[in-house]
């Protein structure tokens, strides 16, 4: 049996799934311990004191007892339930997208305080603002930067020359903007207008307070969405491949003390 220690932390519930008779297996994002998995025992019983404090997207203060592979939630108290977000289908689908994006780019157990507060601000913002698509684009760019996939928007990724104020191309695989000389005739690149590029740079450089009231023409809003979603899907594929590779490398080392085991095995082990 592994040693048990207890941590008190605030957390945002990224995912939850039914586990056993009355429990849930939670994926939690914390500021100082990164993304962790935790069992909330008995939480699906209405009588549980934790019920209602560990719902999806909820920001809560929790007490976690750590086993070797999984935490167990021993106490939970809501900090912010983001009620307006829960009661509106459009807002809650923006919440799902932002959480899914963060979840896909973050490995377990790697602390990233900035990322935690980015998500916290995102959930607060989309609860109240009506500028949802621009807030989403801003969130995407800042998340990408925090996980090491910042797109290059100032210099051509082909020849490294400064980008001139004219329409350009965007090369998602190369990770940024391509000048007309490098981009024209090249396959798998997308045209990007100077207006859209300027907007991307503005969102990349500025914090949330400067973009909340920004109004953007629908043509530019459509173009930036198309480019960023394409970029994310290409980078995510690379990210997933590298995670998969790491996973396979770990599995090869079958004699290692830290070998990967399934959550079910982990729970059994914790409870032994």
Q: What is the token pair recorded at 254?
A: 């079958």
Cβ proximity to Zn ion: between 170 and 270 the closer is 170
Q: Does 237 bind Zn ion (CB under 5 A)?
A: no
Q: Does 159 bind Zn ion (CB under 5 A)?
A: yes
Cβ proximity to Zn ion: between 164 and 268 the closer is 164
Q: Does 176 bind Zn ion (CB under 5 A)?
A: no
State the pairing for strand pair 34-40/23-30: antiparallel
Q: Does 26 bind Zn ion (CB under 5 A)?
A: no
Q: Does 151 bind Zn ion (CB under 5 A)?
A: no
The site for Zn ion, by CB under 5 A, has a size of: 5
Which of 50, 128, 40, 118 has its CA nearest to residue 86? 128
Q: Does 157 bind Zn ion (CB under 5 A)?
A: no
Q: In the bound complex, what is the minimum distance in angstroms from residue 182's beta carbon to Zn ion?
A: 3
Which one of 6-14, 95-103, 120-128, 175-183 is the stretch in contact with Zn ion (CB under 5 A)? 175-183
Q: Does 58 bind Zn ion (CB under 5 A)?
A: no
Binding test (CB under 5 A) with Zn ion, winner from 156, 172, 189, 224: 156
Cβ proximity to Zn ion: between 179 and 266 the closer is 179
Q: In the bound complex, what is the minimum distance in angstroms from residue 227's beta carbon to Zn ion?
A: 17
Q: Name the phi and psi angles at 84, rounded to 5.
A: -60, -30
Q: Does 182 bind Zn ion (CB under 5 A)?
A: yes
Which one of 10-18, 177-185, 201-209, 245-253 is the stretch in contact with Zn ion (CB under 5 A)? 177-185
Cβ proximity to Zn ion: between 155 and 208 the closer is 155
Binding test (CB under 5 A) with Zn ion, winner from 158, 197, 200, 227: 158
Cβ proximity to Zn ion: between 46 and 162 the closer is 162
Rule CB under 5 A: which residues touch Zn ion? 156, 158-159, 179, 182
């Amino acid at each position: 049996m592994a040693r048990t220690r207890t941590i008190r932390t605030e957390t945002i519930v990224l995912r939850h799934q039914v586990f056993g008779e009355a429990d849930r297996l939670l994926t939690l994002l914390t500021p100082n311990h990164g993304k962790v998995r935790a069992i909330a025992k008995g939480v699906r019983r209405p009588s549980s004191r934790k019920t209602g404090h560990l719902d999806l997207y909820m920001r809560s203060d929790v007490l976690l007892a750590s086993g070797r592979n999984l935490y167990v939630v021993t106490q939970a108290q809501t900090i912010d339930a983001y009620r307006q977000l829960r009661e509106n289908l459009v807002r809650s689908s923006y919440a799902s997208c932002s959480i899914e994006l963060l979840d896909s780019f973050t490995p377990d157990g790697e602390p990233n305080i900035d990322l935690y507060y980015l998500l916290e601000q995102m959930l607060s913002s989309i609860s109240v603002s009506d500028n949802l698509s621009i807030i989403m684009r801003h969130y995407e760019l800042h998340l990408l930067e925090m996980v090491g996939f910042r797109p290059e928007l100032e210099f051509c990724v082909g020849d490294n020359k400064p980008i001139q104020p004219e329409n350009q191309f965007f090369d998602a695989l190369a990770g940024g903007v391509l000048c007309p000389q490098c981009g024209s005739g090249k396959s798998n690149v997308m045209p990007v207008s100077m207006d859209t590029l300027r907007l991307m740079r503005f969102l990349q450089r500025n914090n949330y307070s400067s973009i909340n009231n920004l109004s953007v023409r629908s043509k530019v809003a459509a173009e930036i969405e198309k480019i960023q979603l394409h970029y994310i899907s290409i980078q995510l594929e690379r990210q997933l491949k590298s995670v998969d590779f790491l996973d396979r490398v770990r599995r090869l080392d079958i004699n290692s003390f830290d070998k990967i085991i399934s959550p079910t095995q982990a729970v059994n082990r914790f409870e032994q």
